[in-house]
Structure 1
Amino acid sequence: MSQAPVTESELHAYVDGLVPETRRGEIEAYLAAHPHEAGRVAAYRAQNVALRALYDPVLDEPVPSRLTAAPRATSLHLQRYAAGLVIAFASGAAGWFLHGVGDQGASLAQAVRAGGAPQQSASLAHQAAIAHVVYSPDVRHPVEVGADQETHLVTWLSKRLGTPIRPPKLGKLGYELIGGRLLPGQSGPVAQFMYQDPGQQRLTLYVSTEQSHNKDTSFRFSEQGQVNVFYWIDGKFGYALSGTIDKAILAGVAAAVYEQLDKPP
């Protein structure tokens, strides 16, 4: 007996954890046989994770008294304005996450932008933070190539980025390399290296080679939701170290990364 075709609504239900257990195995088998569809599902999941990471902290904030005391008409106006901001952000996020998923994803991203969302290029820190919140919580597949194949990982990522890159050694600071993966950037591939300490705390180093027109070489800090990011530019390279650890501790790790990357291999 042939299986029922997997529908678009079922894919969304699968992403949201709402698909029946009796159907889950069939959908997972379908995704395993259709990498393009699996890529779309991964993009939908990434969007959900990033939205939660950026907006969940707001749910715990108390409502300002000046808003609760406002006249009803003003309150409705503020609610509509806030809803508009959320919709605009969600549309922009959808466009970003679908970038690189394939022709269908690119077409959908273009349609979202055409629908009125402002087209803005994400900053290096913002891109790195999104990649961090998407992949660092993953228990089974946090990386594409593990640290046990570090030579292959370095060769592969260097070839794809078109320039030699290598993961810094952070063992003296308590962080060991887990591995890395290839990600889509604004105009080409970028690399992500992931590290972990004995307490399962993870850091990610985002490496981009898209900085040819960027003259800002200063060392900077950014808070992206709950993620702290130290980032800097070195020639065509852009580096961003992300984690949910204390800013001072992350600064020490970032300094160690900077020192190693500033030296020839």
Structure 2
Amino acid sequence: MSRIDPPVGEDDLQAYFDGRLAADRRATVERYLNDHPTAADDLARDGAALAELRSRLAFKAAEPIPARLRVSSIRAGLRGQRLARLRSVAAVCAWLALGGIGGWLASGLLASPQPEPVRVARMADDAIAAYRTFVVEVVHPVEVRADEQAHLVGWLSKRLRTPIDVPDLTSLGYRLMGGRLLPGHTGPAAMLMYDDDAGTRLTLYVKTDEIEETAFQFVEKDGVSAFLWRDRGLGYVVSAATPREALMPIARLVHDELERRPGAAPPNQL
């Protein structure tokens, strides 16, 4: 029995315009455009508008990456955050030393230089800081774009020394924009960025060396919501400038998509 192609819809036309269709589906869309000159004219006008926009922004794309977006600048900012945390810990320890049980408590702190709450809070802070830095970028929001997804996955997996998966969020209206490599406290981290038709962007932050597994945790900082969890040596943070109830289904889908990868352990209770 011959296969019947599904009707051509807006998603097909947008994917055709973006050059994201497979060869067989592209041929179907081209036949549709030949039979529907109005739709073809609309795409032609969109293409002309895009070409004009690219021409106007060409000078911007040719500019060097701003210094604040360079890895060295981000690393310097993270060092400043670490120093601020160390000063806070030192002040607390000094006050504890004045108490009758200061020595006993201080020894407990020294025995655990990176207690779990501190590690989790640090991961959330780093993820939200990365979100704030790159989500506002127009020309350089990502290092590798979604049309090079295979290269992006291979590159990030190699640098993090563990397989990195790209969750499919199209069922919730979010498309992969691309990703980038980030510096971390214990090694490199990865960030994937998505957006929807309304221009809302969200990020998935992934880092290694997270031994303890945790269930979902929610944090909110200056208007940015984030769900984070740790599983099989990796830490994940989903961040967006959306309310908690809007971000929850997205974080659940990311979690479920990652759990479906080969060799995944049974999912945590969310």
CA distance in 2 between counterparts of 1:110 and 1:218 reads 26
SS in 2 for 1:203: strand
CA distance in 2 between counterparts of 1:159 and 1:227 reads 30
Cα shift readout 1:166-203 (whole Å, capped 9, x = no counterpart): 11000110000000000011110000000000011000
1:51-62 equivalent positions in 2, closer than 5 A: none
1:42-191 equivalent positions in 2, closer than 5 A: 42=70, 97=77, 99=79, 116=87, 118=89, 123-191=122-190
Identity score, percent? 40
How many residues end up aligned between the 2 structures? 173
CA contact (8 A) 2:146 2:176 kept: yes
Which amino acid in structure 2 is aligned with residue 150 of structure 1?
Q
CA distance in 1 between counterparts of 2:81 and 2:176 reads 37
Which amino acid in structure 2 is aligned with residue 192 of structure 1?
M
1:241 and 2:243 correspond: no
* Unmatched segments (≥5 aa) in structure 1: 1-28, 47-94, 100-108
Deviation at 1:115, TM superposition (A): 10
Deviation at 1:210, TM superposition (A): 2.2
Partner residue of 2:254? 257
TM-score by length of 1: 0.58
Partner residue of 2:205? 206
SS in 2 for 1:200: coil
Which amino acid in structure 2 is aligned with residue 126 of structure 1?
D
Partner residue of 1:192? 191
CA distance in 2 between counterparts of 1:127 and 1:98 reads 8
In our comparison, the structure showing a higher alpha carbon Rg is: 2
CA distance in 1 between counterparts of 2:134 and 2:217 reads 23
Deviation at 1:126, TM superposition (A): 1.3
- Over the residues paired in the alignment, what is the CA RMSD in angstroms? 3.2
Cα shift readout 1:92-120 (whole Å, capped 9, x = no counterpart): xxx86154xxxxxxxxx599669956577
Structure 1 residues 41, 256: closer, same or farther in 2, change over 3 A?
A: closer
Structure 1 residues 111, 164: closer, same or farther in 2, change over 3 A?
A: closer
